[in-house]
Amino acid sequence: MNVKKILPFLFLALMVTFVSCKKGPDKMIVKTWKVTNVVSKGTYNDSTFQALKSDLMKVEMTFKDNKYTMSSGGNVIESGTYALENGKLVVKTENGMNMDALVTKEGLTLDTPDFMTTLIPK
C-alpha cells in the first residue's frame, strides 16, 4: 500500500483524536472541589468577613451534568447550574446570581460581587 494514500487518513485520525481529547473548561470542572482561599472585595467589614470566610473554608462544590451543589459538613447549602457561555464558564446560583469562573487543571476561581474564592480538586 502506498504511504501517500494512507497519510491523509492518518492525519484525519490524529486530528479527530486531538480534538476529542481536548479538555475545555466545561469538561475540567466535572468533579468535587474544596475551598482553599477566600478574598474579600471590601463589601463586608473585617469581622463579618472573617466569620464568613471561616464558614466558606469548610465548603465543597460538586459539578456534574451542568448542575452544582455547594455543601458543608454533608449538608447542601446551595445549588444551581453552570454553562459555558461565550467561551467563559458561568456559574448561576438558585437565586440567579452569576459567578464568573476560571477553571484549570490545578484550580477553580469563582468571582462574585463580594468575594474571590479559590478551590482545588478534592
> In the chain, what are the domains?
24-121 (2.40.128.270)
Q: What is the largest CA-CA distance in the chain?
A: 75
3-state secondary structure of 105: coil
Is the pLDDT assigned to residue 94 strictly greater than 70? Answer: yes
Q: Write down the pLDDT at residue 23.
A: 53
Torsion sign over Cα 93, 43, 55, 120: positive
Mean pLDDT of the chain: 79
DSSP-derived letter for residue 113 is S
CA distance 82 to 10: 37
Q: Which of 1-10, 78-87, 92-101, 105-114 has the lowest mean pLDDT?
A: 1-10
Greater confidence (96 vs 43) lies with: 43
